[in-house]
Amino acid sequence: MRYLITFLLFLSLPLIVQSQSIDSLNAEIEALELREQSIQQQIDSLNEKIKDVRWELVKKRNELEDIQDQEEKEQMLEEGFTATVSSSLYSMKEEPTVSAKKIADLSVGDEVIVYDFFQRPYLKISYKGQEGYITHGALEQTDLLDEITGETERLREEDPRLPELIDKFGRATARKIIREEVWIGMTDEMARASWGRPRDINRSTNAYGVNEQWVYPYGKYLYFEDGVLTTIQE
């Protein structure tokens, strides 16, 4: 009898092992499926993040291009750019006024250098080494010229000092001053034009130069070394 039982157990052993193997494999398969789902969820999440990053990248690249275009335009305006005379009905004048003295006659097709100054309707130009002013209607209109006259006119309406500031500091700096900006490296004259007269000035002189602390309302201070802004405290 004992031998019979042993023999039967021997015969059933493969079935038991096989059953355990199936259960083990099913458990492993289930674990792998769960892992696959988890990884897929991570992939989906990463794909969404990639989309967000790509969209942000596109926006930043567009912002960079806009800034570079603006800087290029401002550089052109600072240095002057070439424009073509399209009408000989107007002359270059000494001042931007109707009654100003005529200093040169221009012909259609002549090229002039236009600077960053616009006092309706006059633009500041240079012709054959001589500087003067001419009505903007005498020049062939371009996108850049239209932008100057339109934008500068808008800023001029906001602050009538614009022509004077542009003539003194240049277009880019004048725009910053009108927006009441201050920055490291600006002169005390620029700072006064931007923020106005300080409430008080504390000045000290030493072997290295003159240091000034300009005091403004609401706890704002500007610090200068020999007339150059070095520190901003707000």
Looking at the structure, tell me whether residues 133 and 187 fall in a common domain: no
Tell me which H or E stretch contains 137.
Answer: none
Tally the domains of the chain. 2
pLDDT digit string, tens, across residues 132-185? 999 888 888 776 776 777 766 667 777 788 888 887 887 778 878 888 889 999
Domain of 141?
A: 76-179
Looking at the structure, tell me whether residues 127 and 151 fall in a common domain: yes
Report the Cα 126 to chain-centroid distance in Å.
30
Q: What is the pTM of this model?
A: 0.42
Closest residue by Cα to residue 70 from 201, 172, 181? 172
CATH number, domain containing residue 85: 2.30.30.40
* 124 strand-pairing partners: 133
Mean pLDDT score, 91-99: 89
Q: Tokens 């039982």 belong to which residue?
A: 5
> 2-6, 46-50, 65-69, 106-110 — which one is most confidently predicted on average?
106-110
